[in-house]
């Protein structure tokens, strides 16, 4: 869909209040399109006052500004990522990916209430966000149409990049904060920060270029370790250091204690975008990293070998689904049901030691479904496990071992 297809239409645009959304809003308004701006409060640590976003978008021509408080929803999505262990390609906690799904889920009801059928976003044609916005929208409301300025020839002709947008905003007196001097871009919510583009696109640039927004780099963390206790009830973190916390408050508190000790700060990753390109990012997700490590220690106690293998495979699958924009689809929902089934066993208290970016196991207590038993695992006492029973066990295993050798399938 291009500008000429809009014909003075009314659309709801996902707006962050940043350079792109301010430029797009003013440019569309200038061309006779009625823009209703939608901004979600996701606990962004880089926005001190969300009302500033409202003022910027209205100043840029938005007919209406919707500021939605989605802090409970983003925190709940973070706990779902936690239970799933949904780290993309081994490290990235999908903090931006899941946020796009949360935002679209908030936008759709607002569109339905206003009779708006056209959704717009400022994602580029090179990245993953365009896929996330549009797949999520079409799954939740198949009748919606999408306008993406960065795929519109008219917009691309007017704006080649940040320089042209900054010059446009300055020429029209628009209240944007962006400058050409900023060496990278940042996307933020309470789950984490993603830093990319600009100077970070060069692999000769160290992650140390980034100024952390949720803590400190491990090298600058305190020289003394901090012991932290996390209580889980059926897969949900419910207390931190014996203080009961829920939802957004839990995530914020976990961020504070973990970030202060360099946990989850400054992760470098070169990952595979869905569109086929490689991208480099530097990530922060201190709370998820702390809670995720604690949850991992808890799962070690309650999952048997087969459940553990299934959970590991499903974790990788769900991480990819979130990254690629398929959080709401059938396969993901089925996999999440499996994860939730196992989470019913995940009750217990885990204590860990935080030291310069590391999370080390300290102790576990009150884990009612633990499969670990000291008497059975002991290498000294017999307990319930009779060492002599292994004779028959090894005899059975040895049959196939000998057959492999006799069939000349073993390289010597």
**What residues contact residue 100 under an 8 Å CB cut-off, 6+ apart?**
129, 132, 133, 136, 325
Residue 20 appears among annotated catalytic residues: yes
Tokens of 196: 């990319």
Q: Measuring CA to CA, which residue among 281, 272, 300 is closest to residue 370?
A: 300
At CA 116, angle to CA 111 and CA 121, rounded to 5? 75
Q: Hey, how many other C-beta atoms are within 10 angstroms of the C-beta on 226?
A: 16
Distances (CA, A) of 402 to 42, 390, 393, 407: 61, 18, 15, 9
Distances (CA, A) of 187 to 12, 213, 337, 374: 20, 11, 30, 46
Distances (CA, A) of 241 to 71, 76, 231, 350, 412: 23, 20, 8, 10, 55
21, 54, 71, 129: which is the annotated catalytic residue?
Answer: 129
Round to whole Å and give the CA distance between 9 and 347: 52
Residue ranges of alpha helices (H) inside 145-246 are 153-158, 162-171
41, 145, 185, 273: which is the annotated catalytic residue?
Answer: 185
**What residues contact residue 201 under an 8 Å CB cut-off, 6+ apart?**
280
Pairing between β-strand 118-120 and β-strand 145-147 as defined by DSSP bridges: parallel
Round to whole Å and give the CA distance between 179 and 181: 5
Residue 185 appears among annotated catalytic residues: yes
At CA 40, angle to CA 38 and CA 43, rounded to 5? 160
**Contacts made by residues 153-157, CB under 8 angstroms, sequence distance 24+:** 153/2, 154/2, 154/3, 154/4, 155/3, 155/24, 155/27
Residue 100 appears among annotated catalytic residues: yes
The residue written with tokens 């500033």 in the block is 52
Round to whole Å and give the CA distance between 213 and 189: 11
166 in Cβ contact with 19 (< 8 Å): yes
9, 16, 20, 152: which is the annotated catalytic residue?
Answer: 20
Q: Measuring CA to CA, which residue among 325, 20, 18 is closest to residue 150?
A: 20
Bin 188: left if φ > 0, else alpha if -120 < ψ < 50, else beta.
beta
100, 162, 231, 336: which is the annotated catalytic residue?
Answer: 100
Give me the active site residues, please.
Answer: 20, 100, 129, 185
């Amino acid at each position: 869909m291009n500008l000429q297809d809009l014909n003075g239409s009314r659309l709801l645009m996902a707006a962050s209040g940043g350079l792109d959304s301010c430029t797009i809003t003013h440019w569309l308004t200038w061309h006779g399109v009625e823009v209703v701006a939608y901004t979600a409060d996701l606990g962004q640590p880089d926005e001190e006052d969300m009302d500033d976003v409202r003022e910027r978008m209205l100043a840029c021509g938005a007919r209406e500004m919707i500021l939605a408080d989605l802090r409970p929803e983003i925190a709940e999505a973070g706990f779902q990522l936690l239970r799933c262990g949904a780290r993309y390609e081994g490290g990235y906690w999908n903090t931006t990916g899941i946020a796009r799904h949360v935002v679209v889920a908030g936008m759709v009801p607002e569109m339905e209430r206003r009779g708006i059928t056209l959704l717009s976003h400022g994602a580029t044609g090179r990245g993953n966000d365009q896929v996330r916005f549009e797949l999520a929208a079409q799954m939740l409301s198949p009748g919606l149409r999408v306008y993406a300025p960065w795929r519109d020839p008219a917009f691309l002709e007017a704006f080649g990049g940040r320089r042209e947008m900054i010059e446009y905003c300055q020429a029209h007196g628009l209240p944007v904060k962006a400058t050409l001097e900023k060496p990278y871009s940042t996307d933020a919510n309470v789950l984490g920060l993603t830093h990319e583009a600009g100077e970070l696109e060069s692999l000769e640039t160290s992650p140390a270029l980034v100024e952390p927004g949720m803590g400190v780099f491990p090298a600058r963390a305190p020289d003394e370790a901090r012991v932290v206790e996390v209580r889980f009830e059926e897969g949900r973190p419910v207390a931190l250091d014996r203080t009961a916390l829920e939802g957004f408050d839990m995530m914020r508190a976990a961020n504070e204690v973990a970030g202060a000790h360099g946990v989850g700060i400054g992760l470098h990753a070169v990952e595979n975008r869905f569109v086929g390109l490689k991208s480099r990012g530097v990530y922060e997700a201190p709370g998820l990293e702390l809670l995720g490590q604690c949850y991992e220690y808890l799962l070690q106690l309650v999952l048997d070998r087969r459940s553990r293998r299934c959970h590991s495979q499903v974790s990788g699958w769900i991480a990819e689904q979130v990254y690629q924009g398929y959080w709401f689809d059938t396969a993901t929902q089925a996999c999440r049901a499996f994860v939730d089934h196992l989470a019913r066993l995940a009750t217990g208290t885990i204590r860990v030691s935080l030291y310069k970016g590391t999370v080390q196991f300290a102790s576990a207590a009150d884990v009612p479904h633990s499969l670990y038993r000291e008497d059975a695992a002991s290498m000294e006492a017999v307990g319930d496990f009779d060492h002599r029973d292994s004779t028959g066990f090894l005899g059975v295993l040895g049959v196939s071992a000998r057959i492999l050798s006799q069939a000349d399938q073993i390289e010597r």
